[in-house]
Chain A
Amino acid sequence: MKIRDLESGYGSVQILWGVDMSLREGAITALLGPNGAGKSTLLRSIFGTVRPWKGSILYRDEDILHLPPHRKVDRGIALVPEGRHVFAGMTVKENLLLGAYRKRARERMEGNLGLVFSLFPILEERQDQRAGTLSGGEQQMLTIARSLMASPELMMLDEPSQGLAPKVVEEVFSALTRIREEGVTILLVEQNVENVLSIADYVYILNEGRVVGEGRPDEIEKAGLRKAYLGL
């Protein structure tokens, strides 16, 4: 995926001021930056829940800038939104089935269900339980699992470790590396810099709606970008 000169925002408030970014297939690309840098807005603009203003998003030789979210899902793009957006009144199983809502995903439902249950065995145990009764960590796993049910080729995650206990964070991050092994491209927004630098293949740093640095994790360390923009 190649993003060129992307501008976006809410109402008349511009958040992104021309973002350029490339994602390598099968890799984990991390997106770091201080609060309010526009990381979530960037993910939402790529997915289409926020309508981008201008620029281009080239994916498999097609400009998908103005496609609505469900058409993005049809092309194998998934977003795991910030916070835990599970369907609390429905069972874990129903949540997962809704993840395979599009026709493309329904055809591969059995295989994906197997993958999801092997990644998060706890969800198999709890499949008949209402999602609202799960712990915070389990709900986050369910949100990720539900996105996997859509058979994504590119998976975007918005702060999946937010508010989770260290042990659960570890579990989520190891799941991400296993998802990468399945050949899924990952774009990861995180505050949890330490963990991200250990699993990411490439890093972009966003500040005030612009890309202000990029490189492999070791290059980011060397260039001191981490200190400059992330205060760590």
Chain B
Amino acid sequence: MPPFLIALYGNLLNGAILGAVYGMMTMGLSLIFGVLRIVNVGHGAFIMVGAYTAFFLFTLYGIPPLLAVPFSFIIGMGLGALFFYTVIKRLIDSPELTTLLATFSFGVLLEEVAKLLWGPDYRGFNWEVGSLHLPFVTIPLEKLYAFLASVSMALILYIWFKKGRSGMAIRAIMEDREGASCCGINVDGMYGLSFSIGIALTVASGSLLTLFIPVGIHPYMGGIYTLKAFVIAVLGGLSSPWGAFFGGFIFGLVENGAYSLFGLVPGLEPFSMTYFAAFLILLILLLIRPEGLLGANGG
């Protein structure tokens, strides 16, 4: 096989693996938008909290990042509930600008608190658990675990959404808020629950992302993930968490595939071009299928 194809194959495989984590990273954003119609501009800051959680659990207590996921989830539930009941609950029916400013401010607040507590340095750690040797390509096992964890989380969320009592209630609110209220569904309570779970998923995904960024943990790391999550959410149809998950896959594949392709062009720095490719795909998709790949309500 020519070396280019081997590289492409390897990159696509890695893209699919990272894509699952991207998908999980975006499910929380979509859930919050789908249920509350609120765009969480501070999304990336919650990812940063999850990354620090994994970092400190590993470096201080030797707890592997996979086991950090449940910790991060609980921290996320707490942060989400705190943010919801202090701020968001009052703003649910406010104009978009109000909620954009509120989520943006909360994100900045988290970043500044992180800088105050842990300083502005770049941090990272290595959790090495061996590799899986496939023909032509080697996949680090920790990344494969992150992939499996993301897929499992998505599956659990899916089953809860389809079969669980509160999951059904949340779907009912997404379909028709007044109808849901008439069924005796506590709409405010369900808003709080979906918001907290959305944040919890985001924080947990931040812990898994640490396995892909060996030295990339710092207070302002979230910005680029906010951007990526927005692209992925639009790919998936904005208000559908499942759409978001598949959008993540596609984004991971495009990002990593583009890396290989741009590497062929002399004089081009392939890494910086991957964003270009990702946003180009977004533009094309918005032109031909503005409702997202799975439609506006793929849930």
Question: Which residues of chain B have C-beta atoms less than 8 A from A97's C-beta?
Answer: 168
Say which one of A28-36, A87-95, A198-206, A211-219 lies at the interface with B.
A87-95
Contact of B184 among A73, A86, A88, A89 (CB under 8 A): A73
* Cβ–Cβ contact A81 & B179, under 8 A: yes
Name the prevailing secondary structure of the B interface residues.
Answer: helix
Whether A49 contacts B178 by the Cβ 8 Å rule is yes
A101 to B169, CA, bound (A): 8
B59 at the interface (CB under 8 A from A): no
Q: Which residue of B lies closest to A87 (CB)?
A: B175
In the complex, are the beta carbons of B179 and A86 less than 8 A apart?
yes
The answer to whether A99 has its CB under 8 Å from any CB of chain B is yes
Q: A90-B172, A90-B175, A101-B169 are in contact. Are A85 and B182 (CB under 8 A)?
A: yes
Contact bitstring A131-171, B, C-beta under 8 A = 1, else 0:
00000000000010011001000000000000000000000
> How far, in Å, is B54 (CB) from chain A's closest CB?
37
Q: Which chain B positions have C-beta within 8 A of A81?
A: 178-179, 182
Contact partner of B183 (CB less than 8 A), chosen from A49, A88, A89, A99, is: A99
CB within 8 Å for A74 and B184 given contacts A89-B297, A94-B168, A98-B168: yes
A69 at the interface (CB under 8 A from B): yes
Query: What distance in Å separates the Cβ of A23 from its nearest Cβ neighbour in chain B?
Result: 19
Q: Which one, A49, A70, A74, A87, contacts B176 given CB within 8 A?
A: A87
Whether a CB of chain A sits under 8 angstroms from the CB of B138 is no
A residues 90-145 touching B (CB-CB < 8 Å)? 90, 94, 97-99, 101-102, 105, 143
- A-chain residues with CB within 8 Å of residue B186 when the two chains form the complex: 68, 70
Number of interface residues of B (CB under 8 A): 20
B98 at the A interface (CB under 8 A): no
Cβ-defined contact, A101 with B183, below 8 A: yes
Residues of A in contact, count (CB < 8 Å): 29
How far is the CB of B114 from the nearest CB of chain A, in Å? Answer: 37
Among the listed B165, B176, B183, B188, which residue makes an inter-chain contact with A73, where contact means beta carbons less than 8 Å apart?
Answer: B183
Tell me, rounded to whole Å, the shortest Cβ–Cβ distance linking A150 to chain B: 6
B277 within 8 A of A: no
A70 contacts B175, C-beta separation under 8 Å: no
Interface residues in B127-169 (C-beta closer than 8 Å to A): 165, 168-169
Q: Choose among B168, B169, B299 the residue with the greatest number of A CB atoms under 10 Å from its CB.
A: B168
Judged by a CB distance under 8 angstroms, whether A78 is at the interface is yes
Closest A residue to B168 by beta carbon equals: A98
Q: Is B105 on the interface with A (CB-CB < 8 A)?
A: no
- Closest A residue to B181 by CB, please name it: A69
B178 and A146 form a contact (CB under 8 A): no
Q: Indicate if the CB atoms of A85 and B178 lie closer than 8 Å.
A: yes
Residues on the B chain within 8 Å of A87, using CB: 171-172, 175-176, 179-180
Using known A-B contacts A87-B171, A87-B172, A90-B172, determine if residue A101 contacts B178 with beta carbons closer than 8 Å: no
Measured between beta carbons, the chain B residues less than 8 angstroms from A69 are 181-182, 184, 187
Determine if B176 and A86 form an interchain contact, defined as CB atoms under 8 angstroms apart: yes
* Subset of 7 A-B contacts with CB under 8 Å: A47-B182, A49-B178, A69-B184, A81-B179, A90-B175, A98-B168, A98-B185
Q: Which residues of B contact A (CB under 8 A)?
A: 165, 168-169, 171-172, 175-176, 178-188, 297, 299
| 5 cross-chain pairs, A with B, having the tightest CB-CB distances, nearest first | A73-B184, A85-B179, A87-B175, A102-B184, A70-B186
